[in-house]
């Protein structure tokens, strides 16, 4: 079980991404409206994924409209006491004012039980 700030603008969680060069803790917004997990390009570059960022381009829809990014696999994504190996993410530029490094989407949450308790400010994934 993890804690979050129930009065914040979003549910901010800490995740760990593993790349060819290193691993890094990142701040991600839990987004049940996002079909795919999305990660800031600069984070992926720092992890050693520069060459992968030139691979498959995808279109995806956000509340703001259609965007473009690169679909790629990270060696490991750990969040909420679960991990995905060779996990596909969309590399995308986020606004510089964003205080998070990505969105944790439905692709990470599927086939699990997600419990969010806003009164206690706790979240669990089993």
Count of the separate structural domains present in the chain:
1
Q: What pLDDT is recorded for position 68?
A: 82
DSSP conformation letters of the chain: -EE--TTSSS-EEEEEEE-SS-EEEEEEEE-TT-SS-EEEHHHHHHHT-TGGGGS-EEEEEETTEEEEEEEEEEEEEEETTEEEEEEEEEEEPPPTT-SSSEEE-HHHHTTS-EEEETTTTEEEE-
* CB 17 within 8 Å of CB 74: yes
Q: What pLDDT is recorded for position 17?
A: 98
Q: What pLDDT is recorded for position 95?
A: 84
Q: What pLDDT is recorded for position 3?
A: 93
Domain that holds residue 29: 2-125
Assigned token pair, 2? 């993890």
Q: What is the CATH number of the domain that holds 82?
A: 2.40.70.10
Q: What pLDDT is recorded for position 93?
A: 87
- pLDDT, averaged per 10 consecutive residues of the chain (126 residues), comes to 92 97 97 94 92 72 76 96 96 89 96 96 96
| Nearest alpha-carbon partner for 39 in 80, 69, 81, 78 | 69
């Amino acid at each position: 079980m993890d804690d979050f700030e129930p009065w914040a603008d979003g549910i901010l969680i800490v995740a760990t991404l593993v790349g060819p060069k290193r691993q890094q803790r990142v701040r991600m917004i839990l987004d049940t409206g996002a079909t795919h997990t999305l990660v800031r390009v600069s984070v992926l570059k720092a992890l050693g994924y520069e060459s992968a960022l030139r691979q498959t381009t995808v279109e995806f829809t956000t509340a703001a409209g259609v965007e473009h990014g690169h679909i790629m696999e990270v060696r490991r994504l750990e969040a909420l006491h679960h991990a995905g190996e060779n996990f596909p993410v969309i590399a995308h530029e986020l606004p510089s004012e964003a205080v998070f490094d990505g969105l944790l989407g439905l692709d990470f949450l599927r086939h699990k039980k997600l419990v969010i308790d806003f009164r206690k400010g706790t979240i669990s994934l089993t």
